[in-house]
Chain A
């Protein structure tokens, strides 16, 4: 389509010195307008497209998730900063919202019924409002729109979200061997297979190491202040 506009434009410019007719003037004007629309429309389309990032989230597509970060993080950041939050809080909310949507999308029968950005913003808003409510111990006035989204379509267990984040943080504080061993264990690999993958001499030794690592994981979790908050929530 862009080629069409350019072709007409060039044809008229070439033709013009020979024939200054109204028809050519009209064509030239039309060509300029067509070119204008064709230049701006793809840009507008790219700027304004509401891309569905759910497949990218489910497949862990780095490129698209990075694009999602560029496109949708500013709105989350603005939301958080407007409600007494920091850039780090905004990143937390952004990350948690993606995990929440990941879990939602895994459930059978899940269907995206609104724009992805609307869902994402709604999830982010819900997460930040619950977090702020817990932080301040004050009742947060939730605007009607968020309540509508929260009550009717978004069932977000904010405790589970916080718990998942705490567990992940604790796991990544362990040594690499413990992390790898526990990941294999929690993913229900057999101890024999775990021993082989970890290069352990025997299945018995793998069990011992697994138990040590799990104790360390549980201890790390229990020492975290966030765990105590979760217990009292």
Chain B
């Protein structure tokens, strides 16, 4: 039997079960014979690796599971499913609200008139518009102006002014907005402003797994009522500087005023960047 004595010798040495004279011989060989030393080390590593039966079972389990492609994640709705869910529920809300519209006519006709006759963004507004973002569909570009065009619309919001810039610093860096510049002022053309939100997010597991959400608020900030929100596209994941570029080009129809935008992780809605911008009519 090949190496029978050698195997037994090494095993007894590793167990500490060698008689003194054999132990002496083995230790001499270990110090003088590199091949024997390598052999003993290999046996030691084998014993160490296979000592835990659960680890071996785990490897077998993983080999079995990974034979197949990853199953579709039943709870992974991804960004494609959010619009579907949102649209379905918004449709229900719209149906419900549409059904209720006759009741509103009977009780608040003045309000109904004001909602129906909102002037375009580049015309002065004679009467204050009653804005109710709850009834606005969460689209990429609102169809009609949804904020006041008066002095109040330009008043800074103290809460957000104190939080402008990057808010979270993690070991993976911070989120940064490249565009628009903080406090940039845009001019609407025919009531529409084109703006490209571009920035960089930390290249980490959280960003990989949980989408970023860009939200816009008017200066009467209510974190539960953004004017609209969108999931920007993350690109260039292989940049070497530890961050991933994202972008979202928008055409917005808003009333002149001061606005704030936030970048959040969809996971925990922690604000990772707060910015401000304003626009005026042409």
A contact residues vs B (CB 8 Å cutoff): 9, 16, 20-22, 24-25, 28-29, 32-33, 35-36, 39-40, 43-44, 46-48, 50, 57-58, 60, 62, 65-67, 69-75, 78-79, 82-83, 91, 94-95, 98-99, 102-103, 115, 117-118, 120-122, 141, 143-146, 148-149, 163-164, 167-168, 171, 182-183, 186-188, 207-208, 211-212, 214-215, 217-218, 221, 231
A36 to chain B, nearest CB (A): 4
Query: A145 near B242 (CB under 8 angstroms)?
Result: yes
Between A and B, 21 residue pairs with Cβ closer than 8 Å are A20-B106, A25-B104, A29-B96, A35-B89, A47-B77, A48-B268, A62-B65, A65-B61, A66-B65, A70-B71, A71-B76, A75-B208, A102-B58, A103-B55, A120-B205, A145-B173, A146-B242, A163-B45, A167-B49, A168-B49, A168-B59
Find out whether the CB atom of A211 lies under 8 angstroms from the CB atom of B45: no
Q: Is A183 a contact of B53 with CB atoms below 8 Å?
A: yes
Q: Is the CB of A121 within 8 A of B205?
A: yes
- The residue in chain A whose Cβ has the minimal distance to the Cβ of B173 is A145
B3 part of interface (Cβ distance < 8 Å):
yes
Contacts of A83 in B (CB 8 A): 238
Query: What is the interface size of chain B, counting residues whose CB is below 8 A from a CB of the partner?
Result: 72
List B contacts of A207 (CB < 8 A): 8
Say yes or no: is B85 at the interface (Cβ < 8 Å to chain A): yes
Contact with A along B65-93 (1 / 0, CB 8 A): 11000111111111000000110011011
Once the chains bind, are A29 and B97 in contact (CB under 8 Å)?
Answer: yes
Complex Cα distance, B266 from A43, in Å, reads 12
Closest-CB distance, B238 to chain A (whole angstroms) = 4
8 Å CB contact of B134 from A33, A47, A183: A33
Q: Is the CB of B75 within 8 A of A36?
A: no
B50's contact among A16, A141, A145, A182, by CB below 8 Å, is which?
Answer: A182
Verify if B202 is at the interface (C-beta below 8 Å from A): yes
**Are the CB atoms of A141 and B240 closer together than 8 Å?**
yes
| Inter-chain contacts of A122 with B (CB < 8 A) | 205
A20 touching B103, Cβ below 8 Å: yes
Q: Quick check: is B25 within 8 A (CB to CB) of the other chain?
A: no
Cβ of B46: which chain A residues have Cβ within 8 Å of it? Answer: 167, 186, 217-218
CB of B137 to closest CB in A, whole Å: 12
Task: Check if B102 sits within 8 Å of A20, measured CB to CB.
Answer: yes
Interface status of B7 (Cβ within 8 A of chain A): yes
Contact residues in B for A218 (Cβ distance below 8 Å): 42-43, 46
- Least Cβ distance of A190 to chain B in Å? 12
Which residues of B are found within 8 Å of A144, using beta-carbon distances? Answer: 173, 242
A175 to B51, CA, bound (A): 19
Partner of B70, one of A74, A168, A217: A74
| Beyond known contacts A22-B108, A32-B92, A95-B62: 14 more, CB 8 A cutoff | A29-B97, A43-B77, A47-B77, A73-B70, A82-B237, A95-B59, A95-B63, A102-B58, A117-B205, A118-B206, A146-B242, A186-B47, A187-B53, A211-B8
Bound together, the chains give a CA A19 to CA B47 distance in angstroms of 80
Within 8 A of A (CB), among B132-188: 134, 171-173
Chain B residues near A217: list those with CB within 8 A.
46
Q: Is B21 an interface residue (CB 8 A)?
A: no
In the complex formed, the residue of A with least CB distance to B77 is A47
**Which chain A residues lie closer than 8 Å to B107 at the CB level?**
21-22
Inter-subunit contact A98/B209 (CB<8 Å): no
A118 touches B205 (CB 8 A): yes
B110 close to chain A: CB less than 8 A: no
Please tell me if B56 contacts chain A, counting CB pairs below 8 Å: yes
Contact B50 A167 (CB under 8 A): yes
Chain B residue numbers with a CB within 8 Å of A164 are 49
Contacts of B7 in A (CB 8 A): 211, 214-215
